[in-house]
Amino acid sequence: MADNSAIEWTEATWNPVTGCDRVSPGCAHCYAKTFAERWRGVPGHPYEQGFDLRFWPERLEQPLRWTRPRMIFVNSMSDLFHEDVPLSYIQDVFDVMGRAGHHTFQILTKRHDRLAELAGELTWHPNVWMGVSIENRRFVHRADALRHVGAAVRFISAEPLLGPLEGLDLSGIDWLIAGGESGPGHRPVRVEWLRDLRDRCAEEGTAYFFKQWGGPRPKSGGRVLDGLEWSEMPAERTLQPA
């Protein structure tokens, strides 16, 4: 049975890797780390090791057993391009995605340098979307690395959005997800940041998805911006043969 997801822009999650380390301000209130650490030391629990990095080779072929086509977020509880995930294991994940052609897979990383380093060693199947997280202006360069990746869809997750994204180049970017932070100690998002991204997406032809305002809980503020829910999805590009 698939792990159904409450994340608005996907349908299911698949975690052949769990655990991660913080790399930038967007990680400060990581929901995955908070969840995993609750179970540290509980014998037999999947997160007995807390949020330490762990490989799950027995989960690799899960999507092949899910017969209904769906949108699948890869490693919602980790980062596939974490520096301690071997290239061979990443290639195994990509092999499964290629064999599970009835699904669409969404990968998201904050480790743009390693993505750029390994992209040429991976087979970019037409059902694989690749994204980077960009939370403030300091990290808009992550999009530059993404632009050179041969994925069918390239996307940005501006969530949690912690400031305006001045200098962000949306050329070659098919989709942008924006949203505020949720949970205890959440940092508020400002409406002008969201409007700016929405308007720039419209100018560039990039699909815009407003996920949430954020607040004490994920659904606290809803997801209406200027009277509308913005749920645009990207059009998949036709990949040119190598």
The mean per-residue pLDDT over the stretch 102-110 comes to 98
Per-residue confidence (pLDDT) for residue 237, from 0 to 100: 57
Closest C-alpha to 39, from 29, 50, 52, 54: 50
The DSSP 8-state label assigned to residue 19 in this structure reads B
CA distance 18 to 11: 19
pLDDT band at 6 (very low <50, low <70, confident <90, very high): confident
SS3 category, 179: strand
Q: Return the pLDDT at 238.
A: 52
Helix locations, 125-189, DSSP H: 142-146
Q: Which is more confident, 51 or 235? A: 51
* pLDDT reported for residue 1: 57
Span 210-232, average pLDDT: 93
pLDDT per residue over 209-219, tens digit each? 999 999 988 88
Residue range 7-28+58-229 forms a domain whose CATH class is alpha beta
47 pLDDT more than 60: yes
Q: What is the pTM of this model?
A: 0.94
Q: How high is the mean pLDDT of the chain?
A: 95
Return all residues near 53 (Cβ < 8 A) that are at least 6 apart.
17, 18, 19, 20, 21, 78, 82, 84, 85
pLDDT the model gives residue 9: 96
Please report, for residues 2, 71, 179, the alpha-carbon distance to residue 34 in angstroms, rounded to integers and kept in the order given.
Answer: 23, 25, 19
Rounded to an integer, what distance in angstroms lies between the CA atom of residue 155 and that of residue 158?
10
Banded model confidence at residue 184, pLDDT cuts 50, 70, 90:
confident
Region 78-83 average pLDDT:
98
For 202, list phi and psi in degrees, rounded to 5: -60, -40
Judge whether residue 26 has pLDDT over 50. Answer: yes
Q: Is the pLDDT of residue 172 over 60?
A: yes
Exposed e or buried b per residue across 195-233, where buried means at least 16 C-beta atoms within 10 angstroms of its C-beta: ebbbebbeeeebbbbbbbbbbeebeebebebeeeebebe
Percentage, residues of the chain above pLDDT 90: 89
pLDDT band at 27 (very low <50, low <70, confident <90, very high): very high
> What's residue 224's pLDDT?
97
**If pLDDT is split at 50, 70 and 90, which confidence band does 89 have?**
very high
> Where do the structural domains in the chain lie, given as residue ranges?
7-28+58-229
**Could you write out the three-class secondary structure of 197-210?**
HHHHHHHHCCEEEE
Average confidence (pLDDT) over 43-71? 97
pLDDT over 80 (residue 45):
yes
The HSE-up count of residue 96 (CA atoms within 13 Å, CB side) is 21
